[in-house]
Chains A and B, each alone.
Chain A
Amino acid sequence: MWKWLHPYAKGEATYRLLGLWQPWLSGLALVFVTVGLVWGLFYAPPDYQQGDSYRIIFIHVPSAMFSMGAYTGMAIAALIALVWQIRTAEWAIAAIAPVGATLTFVALFTGAVWGKPMWGTWWEWDARLTSQLILLFLYIGVLALYYAFNDARTGAKAAAILALVGVINVPIIHFSVYWWNSLHQGATITKFEKPSMPPEMLIPLLISIAGFLFLTAALITQRLRNEILKQELHRPWAMEKLGVEANHGV
């Protein structure tokens, strides 16, 4: 297996492989997101309790799911970068973090917009909202550290260590925030109990979740390809890709 994997430690091979995946991922993302959102936003039946305002779930839930999924992916890349010193994995951190941060922000924003009609407030110190907010801080921390160093390699490694420290902390933070919430929150807001979903709502939600998965993967793939190209710009293959004349020995 190692022999098979080894070529992908090189930027060029990874670039090619991702290039093969890229159109498929983008196409699937386009189809699934469109079908899921159009179905969910226009054709799914309104909720008996929340009316039409529940429809934001078709964006909120998938983005929240993959905001955490992206963090896990970033931590795995960080582990690979630190243990096997593979530079592609270091660039993957930089490729994943902004996508994850954006998903986190989208989840927070849609949560706030959803909270306004449901709970009567833009922001509630609800456990999920709070831990999502902290996740956003963690993402920003990794990004800030990544770009804080003059030497890109040092920055990537430092960010990798931070991502790993963060991933150990994420469950602890998550758990503590839930615990804090159950301790402090009185019955001031009656949180709407999630009913088991009828299939007319569940199917578009699942399609939308799949769509966001493909979308996340496509965005990360594209960002990673750009990053590889940027970092390998001094190599002949990258210059060729960009159509830059390789001026050898000048």
Chain B
Amino acid sequence: MNKASSWQLMTTVMRRDLAVALRRRSDIINPLLFVVIVVTLFPLAVGPGPDILGRIATGVIWVAALLSSLLGSERLFRDDFLDGNLEQLVLSPAPLPLLALGKVAVHWLLSGLPLVILAPVCALLLKLPFEAWGTLMLTLLVGTPMLSAMTAVGAALTVSLGRGGALLSLLLLPLFIPLLIFAAAAVESTLVGTSAYGQVLLLAGLMLLTLMLAPLAVAAAIRVSVN
């Protein structure tokens, strides 16, 4: 199979995923509502004072983002596995990692990008100082693709298990730690008035590394799960 038709197949898979997801909007909206609700719970738990909320805002928003990515992870491969689509992808002549990357891209478009757009609302609710909003959104913009790619690895590993939910969190959350650390540090730097440039670049580097390697792991995991 030549290069052009591989790309064509990838875009076909992406278009199909997009169409399927857009016809079930609640699957897209629910993880986002989850983030908003978690963010709402924190002021009720620790008190509405701006000094506490402002300090924990970044952490709360990011942890909520990590957890919501686990919630939305089933959508990635579950239905395709059940109706046999995943097998077709494995059998197709296009390289499987490429198709996996396409699926990850669509997943990010529907879960990561809305989160970036939602971030200012969460920042407002948690009284994050305004000067840090930009950095928060930037870390989410750079970090969520990595989140989608790692989630895809976990989802592909557990797709043939009936209920992978709790197991998935055990597999993935430790791997999210660097992301959390650098994202929080970037916003922290902005808050104390220094440049967040270094941390954001580090995040971007990690993201590129993940996007390069994760599709290979996803492809291997799909092959294991389908067999």
Contacts and interface: CB of A to CB of B under 8 A. Distances in A.
Contacts of A141: 170-171, 174
Interface string A149-170: 1000010011001101110110
B167 A148 contact: yes
B77 interface: no
A17 interface: no
B217 A180 contact: no
B221 A161 contact: yes
A134 B161 CA distance: 25
Contacts of B178: 169, 172-173, 175-176
A148 B166 CA distance: 11
Contacts of B158: 145, 148, 158
A138 B176 CA distance: 12
A168 B227 contact: no
A250 B160 CA distance: 34
Contacts, number: 70
Interface in B163-206: 164, 167, 170-171, 173-175, 177-178, 181-182, 185, 188, 206
Interface majority SS on B: helix, strand, loop or mixed?
helix
Contacts of A164: 217
A82 B223 CA distance: 11
A157 B175 contact: no
B186 to A, nearest CB: 11
Nearest to B185: A183
B224 A177 contact: no
Interface residues of A, number: 28
A176 B170 contact: no
Contacts of B220: 82, 161
B157 interface: yes
A144 interface: yes
Given A148-B167, A158-B225, A176 B174 contact: no
Interface residues of B, number: 26
A145 B157 contact: yes
A176 B161 contact: no
B213 interface: yes
Interface string A70-84: 000000000000100
Contacts of A177: 177, 181
Interface string A18-61: 00000000000000000000000000000000000000000000
A138 B173 CA distance: 10
A169 B174 CA distance: 9
Nearest to A135: B174
Contacts of A148: 158, 161, 164, 167
> Which of A141, A166, A168 has the largest number of chain B CB atoms within 10 A?
A141
A162 B155 CA distance: 12
Interface of A: 82, 134, 137-138, 140-141, 144-145, 148-149, 154, 157-158, 161-162, 164-166, 168-169, 172-173, 175-177, 179-180, 183
19 contacts: A137-B173, A137-B174, A148-B161, A148-B164, A154-B160, A154-B225, A158-B158, A161-B157, A161-B224, A162-B157, A166-B175, A169-B174, A172-B206, A173-B175, A175-B178, A176-B181, A177-B181, A180-B181, A183-B185
Given A141-B174, A172-B178, 15 more contacts: A144-B167, A148-B167, A154-B225, A154-B227, A157-B224, A161-B217, A161-B220, A162-B171, A164-B217, A169-B174, A169-B178, A172-B206, A176-B177, A176-B181, A179-B181
Interface of B: 153, 157-158, 160-161, 164, 167, 170-171, 173-175, 177-178, 181-182, 185, 188, 206, 213, 217, 220-221, 224-225, 227
